[in-house]
Amino acid sequence: MTDPVTLDGEGQIGEFDEKRAENAVRELLIAVGEDPDREGLRETPARVARAYREIFAGLWQKPEDVLTTTFDLGHDEMVLVKDIEVLSSCEHHLVPFVGVAHVGYIPSVEGKITGLSKLARLVDVYARRPQVQERLTTQIADSLMEILEPRGVIVVVECEHMCMSMRGVRKVGAKTITSAVRGQLRDPATRNEAMSLIMAR
C-alpha cells in the first residue's frame, strides 16, 4: 500500500479500514429495515467493503504513479484521447456518475509525451475517489500540466449522475459537461480545433 494521499489540503486520508466499512454497511442494512443476518445478506457487508476498497482505490494513488512512461519524441502537435470511460462516485450521495472524458495536450517544446494508456490511468486515479465532476476535470488538467509541462491541456468530461436519475429530481439522461483548459489551448483557434475533434463522432 502506498502512502496516504493528501487531497487538496483537505487533510490526510486514513488507511482503508475494511472492518469498519463492513460494520457501517451492516448498520445501514439495519437502518433501512433489513435483516443483515438473513442468508442472502450475510456476506454483503464484507462484499460491499471490498467493493469500496476498489471503487475508492484512487485515494491511494498519485498522478505521478501512473504518468511514469514519458518519451521525448519531438512531437509538438496536439495529442488527444477521446471517449475515455469515467466511472466515478458523487461525493454528495455516494452513487455513481458515469460517462466519458476527453483528454488532450500540446507537448512541451522538447516534445515530452506520455503513453496513451497513461492518460486513461490518470482519469481513473481521480475518478476512483468521492468526487464532484468539476474537481475531477480540473485535477486531471492540473496534474498533466504539472507533470508533463506541456504547452497546453484540454479536458472535457461528460457524465450522467445517478443522483439525478435514480433519486431526487429523477431526470434520466441529463448530461453534465465540464471542461478545463490550460496554456496554449486557451487560444481560440487551438481550442476550437480541439473542440471540433472532441465533438466529431
Ligand X SMILES: Nc1nc2c(ncn2[C@@H]2O[C@H](COP(=O)(O)OP(=O)(O)OP(=O)(O)O)[C@@H](O)[C@H]2O)c(=O)[nH]1
Look up 133 and say whether it is catalytic: yes
Active-site position among 160, 163, 184, 193: 163
Using DSSP bridges, classify how beta strands 96-106 and 112-114 pair: parallel, antiparallel or unpaired.
unpaired
Q: Is 93 annotated as a binding residue?
A: yes
Residue 175 sits in the site that holds ligand X (CB under 6 A): no
Torsion of CA 151, 190, 116, 69, to 10 degrees: -10
* Grid cell of 178 as nine digits: 465540464
Select the residue interacting with ligand X from 102, 118, 128, 161 (CB under 6 A): 161
How many residues sit in the footprint of Zn ion (CB under 5 A)?
4
Q: At what angle do helices 133-148 and 116-127 cross, to 10 degrees?
A: 140
* Grid cell of 185 as nine digits: 489551448
Residue 133 sits in the site that holds ligand X (CB under 6 A): yes
The distance of Cα 70 from the centroid of its chain, to the nearest Å, equals 21
Q: At what angle do helices 44-55 and 18-31 cross, to 10 degrees?
A: 120
Binding map of ligand X across residues 90-109, x = CB under 6 A, - = no contact? x-x-----------------
Residue 132: which of ligand X, Zn ion, none does it interact with, CB under 5 to 8 A by kind?
ligand X
Q: Is 163 annotated as a binding residue?
A: yes
Residue 168: which of ligand X, Zn ion, none does it interact with, CB under 5 to 8 A by kind?
ligand X
Nearest CA-CA partner of 102 in 87, 119, 126:
119
* Grid cell of 177 as nine digits: 459537461
Instruction: Give whichever of 92 and 175 is closer to ligand X, judged by the CB atom.
Output: 92
Write down the least CB distance from residue 194 to ligand X, Å: 23
By Cβ distance, which residue is nearest to ligand X? 168
Q: What is d(CA 42, CA 125) in angstroms, rounded to the nearest whole number?
A: 31
Look up 159 and say whether it is catalytic: no
Q: What is d(CA 99, CA 164) in angstroms, rounded to the nearest whole number?
A: 14
List residues binding Zn ion (CB under 5 A): 90, 92-93, 163
Which residues in this chain contact ligand X in the complex, by CB under 6 A?
90, 92, 132-134, 161, 163-164, 168-169
Catalytic residues: 90-93, 133, 161, 163
